[in-house]
């Protein structure tokens, strides 16, 4: 017992112990492994606006796509909609992907490539962040900036800002 107390009281042991605790804490913050087992489901309704006279106008499709998997299994569909008031919205429907740290929804000019070739291409060119991914499951709406020229962008990715990798993406097809 005396040998254990002497070892625990030595400065080198305390330094190693504190360093280990700091490294474990930093690793937990950086990787956030608990998110692999926690799903966040979002159920945003389809956006509609009044067309006049109190009637609701359905949105008009501008572009569509189906998500493919990259770093993590990802599925769902993407639509870019124009509402009656001129507002444009990117809508994710039936999204299913892994949860992760610092996930964003990006509109990009990159070509969507299947497999590992497509994991890292989306930050090479032009991209616009539409904000943090609201949840890794469900239906979600993201308002597009008013002056955004959609002709300059051809794809959407669920982007992990922490590790610079795409969880999944789709090429947009104009409607």
The predicted pLDDT at position 55 comes to 80
Judge whether 168 lies within some domain. Answer: yes
Closest C-alpha among 151, 142, 150 to residue 90:
142
Residue 129 contacts by C-beta under 8 Å, 6 or more apart in sequence? 104, 105, 106, 159
Tokens of 11: 């400065």
The parent domain of residue 92 ranges over: 58-174
User: How many whole angstroms separate alpha carbon 75 and alpha carbon 156?
Assistant: 13
Judge whether 8 lies within some domain. Answer: no
Residue carrying structure tokens 């909609």: 81
- Which CATH number belongs to the domain containing residue 140 in this structure? 2.60.40.200
Judge whether 39 lies within some domain. Answer: no
Consecutive sets of 10 residues in the chain, 175 residues long: mean pLDDT of each? 66 67 58 70 91 81 98 96 96 95 95 94 95 97 96 97 94 96
User: How many whole angstroms separate alpha carbon 132 and alpha carbon 161?
Assistant: 10
């Amino acid at each position: 017992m005396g040998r254990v107390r002497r070892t625990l009281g030595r400065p080198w042991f305390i330094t190693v112990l504190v360093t280990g605790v700091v490294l474990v804490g930093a690793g937990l913050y950086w990787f956030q492994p608990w998110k692999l087992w926690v799903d966040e489901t979002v159920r945003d309704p389809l956006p509609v606006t009044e067309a006049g006279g109190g009637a609701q106008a359905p949105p008009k499709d501008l572009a569509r796509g189906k998500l493919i998997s990259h770093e993590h299994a990802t599925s769902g569909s993407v639509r870019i909609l124009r509402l009656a008031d001129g507002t444009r919205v990117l809508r994710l429907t039936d999204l299913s992907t892994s949860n992760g740290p610092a996930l964003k929804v990006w509109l990009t000019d990159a070509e969507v490539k299947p497999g590992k070739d497509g994991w890292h291409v989306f930050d090479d060119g032009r991209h616009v962040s539409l904000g943090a991914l609201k949840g890794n499951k469900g239906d979600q709406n993201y308002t597009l900036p008013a002056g955004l020229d959609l002709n300059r962008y051809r794809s959407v990715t669920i982007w992990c800002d922490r590790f610079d990798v795409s969880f999944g993406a789709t090429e947009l097809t104009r409607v």
